[in-house]
Structure 1
Amino acid sequence: MSQILSTHGYAESHDMESADLVILNTCTIRAKAEQKVMSMLGALRKIKVQRPGMKICVAGCVAQQEGDHLLQRMPHVDLVLGTQNIYDLGTYIDRVAGTDRPVVATTMSKAFRIPAFLPADRKNSEPADELYSFKRFVTIMQGCDNYCSYCVVPYTRGREISRRAQDVVEEVRKLVAQGVREVTLLGQNVNSYGRKLNGTALPCTFPELLHQVAEIRGLQRLRFTTSHPKDLSDELIGCFRDIAILCPQFHLPVQSGSDAVLKRMNRHYTIANYLERVEALFSCRPDLALTTDIIVGFPGETDDDFALTMDLLERVRFHGSFSFKYSDRPGVRSCDFDGKISEEVKSERLAIFQRRQDEISLARNSAYVGSLLEIMIERTSENAFQGRTGTNHIVHVDEKTDLAPGDLLEVEIVHAGQHSLKGKVDSMH
């Protein structure tokens, strides 16, 4: 969206209150995310009273889900932009500016195809955050065909569609030419990349795409997210061994440690399948940092089911996890499931899981103390800087540096916390 707007005379702003255009790019995967959108729109209403010329756009999944209803709830919104319509953002913004009438664009089509697009020249689009001067996300696909029983994504983002490999490679090549050194390839399920482009097969698998992107001269780090366990191939696992710039970090959402719960979730794998894939990953890349997603309190989840999730945590010892309480989402099958869990029980289970995960994360991080790790510098200040390891750990260093964000540096890890590390510059390197 930033790329598109840069060709329509817009530049990113550091200050929301003085911006000509504010875009809320939204998520509806959980009820809490949707509530945050409504809260932010309430705050923006007050700003718009003072500055009526400011335009407000709601894009993404909440926009797709709510459509015209969003304007009824929030009449100060100027543009409601659905997930397949973001590529026409510039056209819609021009229409809103020209007519001063709100626009709702949420049409979805089975014939949808991600259009070719390239980053704007850097001189026309300076990022508001210095992080984005050297690291960027690159979309490789959109939508999902898995229809997990709790998930609204197939309904708000549409069926799975992959971007042409040559478009992805060309975008990364141009970003690297502009100074980007790290790229994260994005998709709802990157493992199934290449299966559908307007309903036809692409002559490129995700592992093949990784190899193509990794060959771009000047790119120093490559990451990707997110993967579905049922589609994790040996070929993709082998990429962690064979591609030098592919970071040793993998996010593999398991959601539950109970086969019975996974079946109700429509996840199409068992815990035995999952553990076999995890073993293969660590066999291929022993220094891999593995993270996951967990949903507690799914309808019908018994105490025994939750105990199995805790057992899985002990067996795998994830480096970190994103864990949430189950919440009903509009139109998904699990809304109608029996056995809903009380908020009290969900909160109790989540607290138990997160407390143990924090202990394991600290133990995992403590294993890095005394080792030398390469970090890519992300932020600098007068007497300190921070960087990120290939395993995606943030490292704080209380020393001055003449290096800039995007530079690589080897540091010695001297302290570990639950969510970050501390390091010092190794004088021998």
Structure 2
Amino acid sequence: METLELIDKVHDEDRQGEPFAPIAIEPNIYKKKFYIESYGCAMNFADSEIVASILSNEGFGATKNFEEADLVLVNTCSIREKAEATVRKRLTEFKKAKQAKRGMLVGILGCMAERLKGKLLEEEKLVDLVIGPDAYRTLPALIQDAESGQKGVNVLLSREETYGDIAPIRLDSNGVNSFVSIMRGCNNMCSFCVVPFTRGRERSRDAFSIINECKDLFDNGYREVTLLGQNVDSYYWVDEQKDMVVTFAKLLEMVANISPLLRVRFSTSHPKDITDEVLFTMARYENICKYIHLPVQSGSTRMLQLMNRTYTREWYMAKVDRIREIMPDCSITSDIIAGFCTETEEDHQDTLSIIEYSKYDMSYMFFYSERPGTLAARRFTDDIPLEVKKRRLNEIVKLQNRLSQHSNFADIGKTFKVLIEGNSKKSENDWAGKSSQNKVVVFPKASYNVNKGDYVNVKITSATGATLLGEIVE
């Protein structure tokens, strides 16, 4: 994969920017139609499902054709400059469609809405609605304002909002995997990150509402849930009436106990917060996937201090050792930033060496993009030339590609329990699914009587850098 492609990748990379259409809704029973595109992290995709539920209750049905929509929404990401540029381009296209369809409203949701509300509304006149991540409940009223010629704006952040009582409408779903949001916001204040300023402070959702949502998904045929949060390991919910405290480890156990047929994943972990209690819980339950996304960002202690990551190089390596000790079969992936402020060649070599040490199965790799409003933008100078950032990123990519290939080749001859998610992208004659370690596995359908949503044992016969290939075994 080319470096310039990699810098655009997100945690839900295969779905970035695709329109969502709720498959459970029949649009013709509704008076109006909405169209929504989502960019960025999995939290944004989960938020779009909440927005779809709110709009459904207001008489809106989904469409995959934005030109016929009465309401066009873009759920945005501010994590990198490239993401914002992509959204601006789309908003310009929607503005042209609006000129052709009288009465169409265009709105922007999410992190970019929070950060650029005035510019998008007044200076560029690209949108009619601006709704921050904590203001989705006010969307119906804001639509009424916009229909009357006013600008509909609400970007207020909340210390309580979790949307725990809203049943999301599953959008563009395969009926097998689903996201479940367990908390919102972030308290970590990493210096490069805009999330604390666009999504607010951390708050955890009612544990029983999470369990009920997961049970409902399982009862409706879903076989895997991914628990979402900016930092899931800091989940902490207290039921004062029952004198009950639910930590993330306890929540994992509660979800795992819904059924042994329900797989449980989670994203994302901050290295400082993932505990032995979580690791031992993962090891104890077969249906909790042996996969941890553990962003390192840099292998240099000096860089980590500037990034305000609150751990050292040595501490992170010890955490990797602990994961391997408790779960030798656990897959570890990471996020890595090349060319952060003042990064030297020695710092860069430290990053390469920690990647080699951790033996990540996969990483999301980017060069640093300064985000206005962050601590880094206020405190540091973005002083690494672009060509140096790209060269360092390219070296990181090459190393990770080698490690990913080595990891996959090491699985040849092994047998994995795979959850079938649907047809392979390349052939309807093959199934595709994932192992507990979150690796994509492709195998022939042959004459086996199995279906999407079933578990099968697959013996790996060959591999590429990105995919395991195999065949079903008894």
Q: What is the distance in 1 between the residues matched to 2:101 and 2:389?
A: 43
Alignment of 1:22-421 (within 5 A): 22-93=72-143, 95-96=145-146, 98-109=147-158, 111-119=159-167, 127-131=170-174, 133-194=175-236, 203-217=245-259, 219-335=261-377, 336-338=379-381, 340-380=383-423, 382-400=428-446, 403-421=450-468
What per-residue deviation string (whole Å, max 9, x for no partner) do you get for residues 177-225 of structure 1? 222211101000111111699xxx9821111111111111375200001
Residues 46, 352 of structure 1: alpha-carbon distance in 2 compared, 3 angstrom cutoff: same
Q: Percent identity?
A: 38
CA distance in 1, matches of 2:176, 2:465: 27
Counterpart secondary structure, 2:198: helix
Unaligned stretches of 5+ in structure 1? Answer: none
In the aligned structure 2, how far is the partner of 1:138 from the partner of 1:355? 34
Unaligned runs of 5+ in 2: 1-50
d(CA) in 2 for partners of 1:185, 1:195: 15
Residue 240 of structure 1 and its aligned partner are, at CA, apart by: 1.6
Q: TM-score, normalised by structure 1?
A: 0.91
1:61, 1:78 → 2: CA distance?
A: 17
Distance in 1, Cα, partners of 2:422 & 2:91: 30
Alignment check: 8 A CA contact 1:63 1:81 kept: yes
Task: Give 1:91 deviation, angstroms.
Answer: 4.2
Once residues 356 and 300 of structure 1 are traced to their aligned partners in structure 2, the CA distance between those partners, rounded to angstroms, is 22
Task: Report deviation, 1:90.
Answer: 4.0
AA partner of residue 371 (structure 1): K
Q: How does 1:11-22 map to 2 (within 5 A)?
A: 11-22=61-72
Match of 1:213, SS?
A: helix
Q: Which runs of 4+ in 1 moved over 4 A?
A: none
Q: Distance in 1 between matches of 2:412 and 2:123?
A: 52
Amino acid at match of 1:107: L
1:363-420 per-residue CA deviation (whole Å, 9 max, x = no partner) reads 1011111222222222226422211211111122343565433222222222211122
Aligned to 1:329, the other structure's residue is in SS state coil
Q: By how many angstroms is 1:173 displaced?
A: 1.7
266-275 or 166-175, which moves further after superposition? 166-175
CA drift of 1:108 comes to 2.1
Q: Is the 8 A contact 1:181 1:218 kept in 2?
A: no
1:73 deviation in Å? 4.6
Aligned amino acid, residue 359 of structure 1:
R
| Separation in 2, partners of 1:282, 1:99 | 59
- Aligned partners of 1:396 and 1:423 also within 8 Å: yes
Asked if the contact 1:68/1:104 (under 8 Å) is kept, the reply is no
CA distance in 1, matches of 2:238, 2:81: 30
**Could you say what secondary structure the match of 1:331 adopts?**
coil
2:27 paired residue number: none
Q: Partner of 2:107: helix, strand, or coil?
A: strand
Q: Residue type of the partner of 1:103?
A: G
> CA distance change for structure 1 residues 76 and 237 in 2, over 3 Å: closer, same or farther?
same
* Distance 1:318-1:104 versus aligned 2 partners, 3 A rule: same
Q: Which residue does the alignment assign to 2:14?
A: none
- Once residues 403 and 324 of structure 2 are traced to their aligned partners in structure 1, the CA distance between those partners, rounded to angstroms, is 17
* Residue-by-residue CA offset, 1:286-340 (whole Å, 9 max, x unaligned): 1111000001101011000000101111111110101111111111121231461
The alignment partner of 1:253 has SS state of: coil
Q: Which moved more, 1:61-70 or 1:80-89?
A: 80-89
Deviation digits for residues 263-288 of structure 1 (CA, Å, limit 9, x no counterpart): 11111101111111111111111111
* Residues 1:282 and 1:87: Cα distance change in structure 2 (over 3 Å): farther
- Deviation of 1:262 after TM superposition, in Å, equals 0.4
The one-letter amino acid paired with 2:432 is Q
Deviations 1:329-364 (A, max 9, x none): 111121231461010100000001001110110010
Q: 1:341 to 1:269 in 2, by over 3 A?
A: same
Aligned CA distance change for structure 1 residues 384 and 91 (closer, same or farther; 3 Å)? farther
CA, structure 1 residues 130+159, in 2 after alignment: closer, same or farther (shift >3 Å)?
closer
- Change in Cα spacing, 1:174 to 1:260, as seen in structure 2 (3 Å) is same
